[in-house]
Amino acid sequence: MNKNLKKIGFAILIFILGFIHLIPIYISLTVSLKKKSDLSSRWFLPKEFFFENFSFAFEKAELLLAMRNSFFITALSITLITLLGAMAAYPLARHKTMTNKIVLNLILAVMMVPPLSILVPLLTIMTKIHGVNTYWGIILTLTTFNLPLSIFLYSNFIHTIPRELEEAAMIDGCSQFKTFYTIIFPLLKPITATVIILTGVGIWNDYQFSVYLLQSPKMKVVTLAISSFFSHSSSNLGAAAAGAIIAVLPIVTLYIFLQRYFIAGMTSGSIK
């Protein structure tokens, strides 16, 4: 009986937390579907949907250009983060030497450093090497700051993979490099989905680096476009809410498609 009560209580708690998290999205949706002159409660949907807010936001905020830049930067950064993270984590997880333990501890230490604390020297270096207002500059920065998380997750997950699989492949004549890409890497699908979602959300929503490294109007990303649009459309809450919804749709869609692997990666990666 106590177990059933705990399950019911846990389910109620999950429902309440989920409801609280959905409230801002729901209110944004109701506001985005109303005319500027509609002063009715934001908790209720309008009698007539006003979709012009979305077209206005998409055009005035130049979201097509911003989303194209964000897609390119996010896709290339995620590709580098997953490949480099998996390749770096493999020897660190398989060879338990003192040097590798020190490297893993350093990686954990780097994850604790607030990015804004080194923003000034970072901007100075990127200016000297002409990395400001370039794709490679922002991609290099975002990849570097997200690699520690990728390596940490991959190394924990690789610990759960039996060594016998690699030994059997090597007996069949596979090199260590071929063993990794034909045997190990395909087994990393759940944790790869986790890395893609965690780092992809962070890169797509990045503002702290983009606002300094992408100062050219042609290089602006979604976060910069939405921020600028909000400042110019603060009196038009419907258009501002529509712009926000458009900005979050791609990353929400990504999570919906990868959530099964994401959950499996998070649970499997926590078991050694």
Condensed to tens digits (0 to 9), the pLDDT of residues 61-93 reads: 788 888 899 999 999 999 999 999 999 998 888
Distance in angstroms (rounded) separating the CA atoms of residues 162 and 223:
42
Q: How confident is the model at residue 271 (pLDDT cuts 50, 70, 90)?
A: very low
Weakest-pLDDT range from 134-143, 146-155, 246-255: 246-255
Distance in angstroms (rounded) separating the CA atoms of residues 52 and 239:
8
Residue 217 CA neighbour count, 13 Å, CB half: 4
Distance in angstroms (rounded) separating the CA atoms of residues 207 and 209:
6
Q: What is the pLDDT of residue 269?
A: 46
Q: How many residues are recorded in the chain?
A: 272
Structure tokens at 250: 């791609």
The rounded mean pLDDT for the chain is 83
pLDDT tens profile 174-228 = 777 788 888 888 888 888 888 988 898 889 989 889 988 988 888 889 988 888 8
Helix, strand, coil proportions of the chain in percent (round to 5)? 80, 0, 20
Q: What is the pLDDT of residue 267?
A: 52
Residue appearing with tokens 């890497």 = 185
List the one residue out of 129, 130, 142 whose CA is nearest residue 84: 142
% of the chain surpassing 90 pLDDT: 18
* Alpha helical stretches, state H, 33-174: 52-60, 63-94, 98-111, 119-128, 135-158, 164-171
Distance in angstroms (rounded) separating the CA atoms of residues 221 and 216:
10
CA distances from 162 to 86, 157, 165 (A): 16, 11, 6
pLDDT reading at 145 higher than 80: yes
pLDDT tens profile 243-269 = 888 888 888 887 777 766 656 555 554
E strand or H helix that includes residue 185: helix 185-187
Cβ-contact 38, 46 below 8 angstroms = yes
Q: Count H helices, E strands: the chain?
A: 13, 0
Q: What is the pLDDT of residue 101?
A: 86
Q: Which residue has the higher pLDDT, 153 or 33?
A: 153
Q: What is the pLDDT of residue 135?
A: 92
Residues carrying CATH 1.10.3720.10, the chain: 55-269
Could you confirm whether domain 55-269 is CATH 1.10.3720.10? yes
Residue appearing with tokens 């998409």 = 58
Weakest-pLDDT range from 28-42, 103-117, 245-259: 28-42
- Give the residue-averaged pLDDT of 22-48: 78
